[in-house]
Amino acid sequence: MYQQSLIDPKDDITSLQSAFLRRKTAQARKTLGQFFTGSVVSDYMASLINKPDTEIVRLLDAGAGTGILTASTALRCLELGCTTVHAVLYELDSEAIPSLDQTLRIVQNTFNQQHGIFSFDIRCEDFVLARPDKDKHIRRFDVSVINPPYFKYNVKNSPYAKAAADLYHGDPNIYASFMAIAMASIKDGGQMVTITPRSFTNGLYFKGVRSYLLTRSALDLVHIFKHRNKVFKNNDSAVLQENIICRFIKGKEHKTVTVRSSDCDARIYNAEEEKYPLELIIDSSNDQRIIRIPESSYEANILRQAEAFPTTFEGAGYFISTGPVVEHRTQEYITEDTSTPDSVPLYRPHNITPLTVTWTGTHKKELSFKLNIGHEKHTIKNGTFVLLKRFSSKDEKRRLVSGVYLESTHNCKVIGFGNKTNYIGVKGEKLTKVEAYGLAAVFNSSFIDKYFRCISGNTQVNATEIRVMRFPTREQVKQIGEQAQQLKTIETNKIDLLVNPVLGVMHSDQQE
Ligand SMILES: C[S@@+](CC[C@H](N)C(=O)[O-])C[C@H]1O[C@@H](n2cnc3c(N)ncnc32)[C@H](O)[C@@H]1O
């Protein structure tokens, strides 16, 4: 029988969690998506819950681990004067159940001492397959505070594929199913607080779940962390995702969204906070419903200025595609011997620098693409394009790096662009050199980089987000291009001086 010590119950709960984590191998934790919430973040998430207007508060914890979130949330309810709380907890890992049970008994003791009642029901089963929202014997919940597991699954043969297809379309990641099913399990007016990767706020794959959540509830608070690597307790290098905390209120329509940003330590309670109109945070101008997150009022101002641009990237007439060469699938075409006859340059991210792209055939990372039978599926017709890196490393200052590729650079009919690059052109027309330089300058400007960061938390630059970005007109792009084509690579610090006046915006890196 567990004996509660005289110290804060949370210390014991944290010790149980730490002891459990020590017993698991890193591999076992990874398989189950076991990134546990530390006590500061757990208490903070619970503090976002407003007093539920009910006699018995029903809590749902999906992927409960050792129960820290339920503990914080139940104790928060007690603090708010709710003396009767019932928690239902789903946890797949049977090895976690004894520690989970002990945690909940500690909470029970604390309730007892304050003449409250805390009851619980641990379900060692799969939350996604159990679908409590569909179970007629399980009543709806008032509150759900969750840190769901995070992993991708095989859409062809995983039992999770389409397991929540009645709620949303797509199979982006297990955490999306947790969010949707938890949302479906709470009652109207119920509150859901989640800590998840930021990836669901943008990106094509999460469109379905985003739409489900935003239709069923009001997202009224977002908390973003300034540093991505300090959020979870067992902080392995695997957690490179940017994580955010969101509060959703089911069935409510809200006009404002509060955005808080802080470091992930005790300073979490002294976060910078701003309230924004819904339209600024949730882009309703297209069916993507991207959730934009300005980290400061300064960034919000950038977002507002960008919103005033006359068109979108696609609306202006541009296209963006991912380079078609997938290296591991086209090994037989790829050669390091760049002098191979009947081969063309293969452009990869390292060839792209601000404003210019360079392939000399002499750098050790440079490759050529042999024009063997069937190459047409992987090469594209030679022409002038703007190349935009698809991935930036997390330490890179700029998320967007783009350079001009000129048709005249190589005397060849087709050209190779790797799939870690995006290539940009004008729909139905040839891109001119001037316009190409204008586009590259726009993408390399610090204003557009900041704007893009409000839209996307990924280090990956997806074509989907670029397509729906607000964008200058082609005339403005050409105007910028006239001057940008005179710039030398080392003068990229002058790009803002060319771009800002034409776009009518005020921003430079120095202003932050
Ligand atoms: C990210 S951890 C969070 C644990 C705990 N809630 C916390 O915040 O510390 C996710 C938990 O979900 C559990 N889990 C993974 N897949 C699950 C599933 N399909 N159904 C229920 N639990 C699952 C994992 O074992 C893990 O304990």
Residues 64, 208, single domain; the answer is: yes
Residues 139, 53, single domain; the answer is: yes
Residues 70, 215, single domain; the answer is: yes
What was the pLDDT predicted at 7?
A: 46
Q: Read off the DSSP letter of residue 165.
A: T
Residues 219, 120, single domain; the answer is: yes
Residues 244, 361, single domain; the answer is: no
Residues 348, 453, single domain; the answer is: yes
What is the rounded distance in angstroms from the CA atom of residue 295 to the CA atom of residue 370? 46
Q: For residue 446, what are its two tokens?
A: 């610090």
Residues 71, 175, single domain; the answer is: yes
- Regarding the beta carbon of 69 and ligand 1, being less than 6 Å apart is answered yes
- What average pLDDT does this structure show over 339-367? 92
CATH number for the domain that contains residue 402 = 3.90.220
- Strands 84-90 and 117-123, how do they pair? parallel
Q: How many other CB atoms sit within 10 Å of the CB of residue 496?
A: 22
Cα–chain center distance at 387: 23
What was the pLDDT predicted at 14?
A: 93
The confidence band for 48, taking pLDDT boundaries of 50, 70 and 90, is very high
CATH number for the domain that contains residue 163 = 3.40.50.150
What was the pLDDT predicted at 11?
A: 87
With the C-alpha atoms ordered 64, 23, 41, 79, is the resulting torsion angle positive or negative?
A: positive
Give domain status of residue 310, yes or no: no
- Are 349 and 389 within 8 A, CB to CB? yes
The single-letter code of the amino acid at 387 is L
**What average pLDDT does the chain have?**
91
Choose which residue among 21, 32, 122 to substitute to test ligand 1 binding: the one with the highest number of ligand atoms within 8 A of its C-beta: 32
Q: Read off the DSSP letter of residue 199.
A: G
What ranges make up the beta strands (E) of 79-158?
84-90, 117-123, 141-146
Residues 322, 470, single domain; the answer is: yes
- What average pLDDT does this structure show over 403-424? 96
Choose which residue among 24, 93, 95, 152 to substitute to test ligand 1 binding: the one with the highest number of ligand atoms within 8 A of its C-beta: 93
What was the pLDDT predicted at 392?
A: 75
Residues 235, 324, single domain; the answer is: no
What is the rounded distance in angstroms from the CA atom of residue 13 to the CA atom of residue 136? 33
Give domain status of residue 302, yes or no: no
- If one counts the domains in the chain, the total is 2
CA of 331 to the centre of ligand 1 (A): 39
What was the pLDDT predicted at 4?
A: 39
Give domain status of residue 280, yes or no: no
Residues 237, 357, single domain; the answer is: no
Question: 506 versus 128: which is more confidently predicted?
Answer: 128
Assess whether pLDDT exceeds 60 at residue 510.
no
Assess whether pLDDT exceeds 50 at residue 257.
yes
CA of 115 to the centre of ligand 1 (A): 31
Assess whether pLDDT exceeds 70 at residue 227.
no
Residues 247, 352, single domain; the answer is: no
Choose which residue among 97, 99, 127, 178 to substitute to test ligand 1 binding: the one with the highest number of ligand atoms within 8 A of its C-beta: 127
What was the pLDDT predicted at 292?
A: 94
What is the rounded distance in angstroms from the CA atom of residue 324 to the CA atom of residue 423? 10
Assess whether pLDDT exceeds 50 at residue 325.
yes
Among residues 235, 252, 269, the one where a domain terminates is 252
CA of 62 to the centre of ligand 1 (A): 7
Which residues, 6 or more positions from 264, have their beta carbon under 8 angstroms from its beta carbon? 40, 41, 225, 227, 230, 231
Residues 228, 358, single domain; the answer is: no
Among residues 195, 230, 252, the one where a domain terminates is 252
Among residues 197, 231, 252, the one where a domain terminates is 252
Per residue in 442-493, pLDDT tens?
A: 999 999 999 998 988 777 898 988 999 999 999 999 999 999 999 877 677 8
Give domain status of residue 324, yes or no: yes
CA distances from 404 to 132, 385, 412, 427, 452 (A): 53, 6, 17, 17, 20
- Strands 217-225 and 343-347, how do they pair? unpaired
Give domain status of residue 38, yes or no: yes
Give domain status of residue 258, yes or no: no
Three-state secondary-structure class, residue 206: helix
What is the rounded distance in angstroms from the CA atom of residue 207 to the CA atom of residue 193? 20
Give domain status of residue 286, yes or no: no
Rg (CA), the chain: 26
Give domain status of residue 263, yes or no: no
CA of 141 to the centre of ligand 1 (A): 19
What was the pLDDT predicted at 393?
A: 66
- Regarding the beta carbon of 34 and ligand 1, being less than 6 Å apart is answered yes
Assess whether pLDDT exceeds 90 at residue 184.
yes
Q: Which residue has the tokens 């893009």?
A: 452
Ligand 1 closest atom vs CA 232: 9
CA distances from 62 to 59, 124, 126, 208, 366 (A): 10, 11, 9, 21, 48
Read off φ and ψ for residue 19, nearest 5 degrees: -65, -40
Assess whether pLDDT exceeds 80 at residue 168.
yes
The confidence band for 237, taking pLDDT boundaries of 50, 70 and 90, is very low
With the C-alpha atoms ordered 198, 300, 214, 264, is the resulting torsion angle positive or negative?
A: positive
- The range of the structural domain enclosing residue 196 comes to 9-252
